Amino acid sequence: MKNLKRQWKFIVVLIAGAVGLISQFALHSKSLFSIGNLQFPVHAIIIDIIGILMAISLLLEIFHDWKTGRYGVDILAVIAVVSTILIGDVWAEWMILVMMTGGETLEDYATGQANKELRALLDKTPRIANKLVDGKITEVKVDDLQVGDTVLIKPGQQVPVDGQIVKGTSSFDQSSLTGESVPVTKNPGDELMSGSVNGDVAVEMKVTKAAKDSEYQSIVALVKSSQAQPAKFVKMADRYAIPFTVISLIIGGVAWDVSGDATRFAEVMVVASPCPLLIAAPVALVSGMSSMSAHHIIVKSGPTLEKLARAKTFAFDKTGTLTENQLIVDQVVTDDKSFDQKELQSLAASVEQQSSHVIASSLVKATDKDLIHPVTNLKETTAQGVEGDVDGKHVKVGKLSFVAPGHEKLNVTSTAVYVSVDGKFAGYITLKDKMRPESPKTIERLRRQGAEDIMMLTGDHKQVAEKVAKEAGITDVRSELLPSQKIQAIKDVPKHLRPVVITGDGVNDAPSLTAADVGIAMGAKGATAASESADAVIMVNDISKVNDAVAISKHTMKVANIDVLTAIGVVIIIELIAFTGVIPAFWGAILQEVVDMITISLGLLAKTKPSDKQFGLEEK
């Protein structure tokens, strides 16, 4: 709504100018009345009314900013408009209004973010549940479920509310909620979280929490809460506001005092109009955002570039972010000298080839096709494992208690499948998340780019998380975290290590992406709640784009700072010339246009390629 209001201001100013030109030159408008030496023809009245309304609107914004402790350069714009009204220089006034409202519109284009952060999250919220009443299925709204109701969760369905299994055993994919890369087997008596996805077997669940209190809905609430309390951030132009305003007012005041003519003050104020200062940063930011797009990174707001350029702490989710959310074989450990590693993997993959379980499919995918043999007498025991005959041997693959009772004391901390052959324990195969090949290099480059702290925030188990973190080169590991705990970890980052940037991809990452100073989503696989809640979205499946985002941001802000300082320097020089009285207000406004063109040209340099050092390709 605020962005739309600013756009309408710009449109109104342009219309007022067009009407004024027609009135003055085409219709030869006469003065309606005069005050002293000042004449007020139709075009002057139109533009003065718009100028007064714009000045009042700006004053209200300035007053609001002052109450929140923010001081901007807008006060100079108000003074410039009022000054041109008082000396009767209508077209100088109009040009100031054009640049003032045009700069705001450009800034909104560069920094405006569509208000759709919750759309994907809300679209995925379970709405319908299969309620069991006297053994019959009745479809009801999720919000109508009561604690104690029994619900049927069919294969592939999302759990509608939090509950407890009362009948059936199945595996549930909780990766988008907890970050666990492997589906978790749930038995009668186990708790289910809303938002998790059922595997291959239907189960009956007793509702333990109403929809509004369930896990998935609490994530939605966390996103809303984080969005309602955004981090405070000061725009670049405002950092120079007070010194620039003071210098300009001093020059204008001295010019008035020395000349004894208030017109001289107005002439200085016209060239002191902060239009170049207001345009410098937005033009550079637009260029930087364009450069980001060329590198397959979508940035939703201009301030995101400012924060990324100064970021000191980077946090990463594990599953799907540092890793590919794909299991690969880690170790093949044999317990029987009759089998070598290759043969053990061959037997296990042969039995698993018809299973749809993620571990089974990962094992089969990691095994050479020539080593996968036909299987007969295949039998699957739900949530336990599979067994069948391969090359005359009876092979069982699955949980340890299923394949080799009595070996339960075997301590394997990784994700593993156990194998027995002809009733004898033969060994086990461990699997791990497949690390993105670019992850270690990304972490290394971030340190070269100035990162002071890099941490992993994941809901996965400690041993798994620490193993992945070590491989990626991360020492600060926080594991087994719920979404609210991720947010707290971000809030706990000390002030001297901010801004904080977090990168993630799952539903459980949405609140922390919103709560961080900058949230980056891995959005290559489609628009998820994570990408909708983030400040930036990487559109390709490449985490090294985080390095590109940082490099482009640093380059953009370097250009923007040079642009702003150049604009200030040139404007102050013109103010000193106006001090002598040789620049009438109208020509002062024209000079403002020249400065604006210089500012825009410099800002466009942000589209050039950042240096290798900014990309983190050079040793410090």
- Asked if 606 contacts 555 with a C-beta cutoff of 8 angstroms, the reply is yes
Q: Provide the β-strand partners of residue 454.
A: 314
Q: Is 317 a catalytic residue?
A: yes
Question: Residue 407: helix, strand or coil by DSSP?
Answer: coil
Residue 239 identity: R
CA 535 to CA 163: how far, in whole Å?
Answer: 34
Beta strand pairing call for 313-316 and 453-457: parallel
CA 316 to CA 314: how far, in whole Å?
Answer: 7
- Asked if 616 contacts 446 with a C-beta cutoff of 8 angstroms, the reply is yes
188 cis-preceded (ω within 30 degrees of 0):
no
Question: Residue 361: helix, strand or coil by DSSP?
Answer: helix
Question: Residue 506: helix, strand or coil by DSSP?
Answer: coil
Q: Is 378 exposed, middle or buried (0-12, 13-18, 19+ CB in 10 A)?
A: middle
DSSP state of 428: E
Backbone angles phi, psi at 17, to 5 degrees: -65, -45
Compute CA distances 559 → 551, 553, 555, 608, whole Å.
Answer: 12, 10, 6, 10
- Asked if 289 contacts 537 with a C-beta cutoff of 8 angstroms, the reply is no
Residue 488 identity: Q
Question: Residue 206: helix, strand or coil by DSSP?
Answer: strand
Residue 179 identity: G
CA dihedral 58, 64, 65, 66 (to 10 degrees): 110
| Active-site annotation holder among 317, 335, 433, 542 | 317
Q: Provide the β-strand partners of residue 167.
A: 204
CA 208 to CA 214: how far, in whole Å?
Answer: 9
Q: So which residues are the catalytic ones?
A: 317
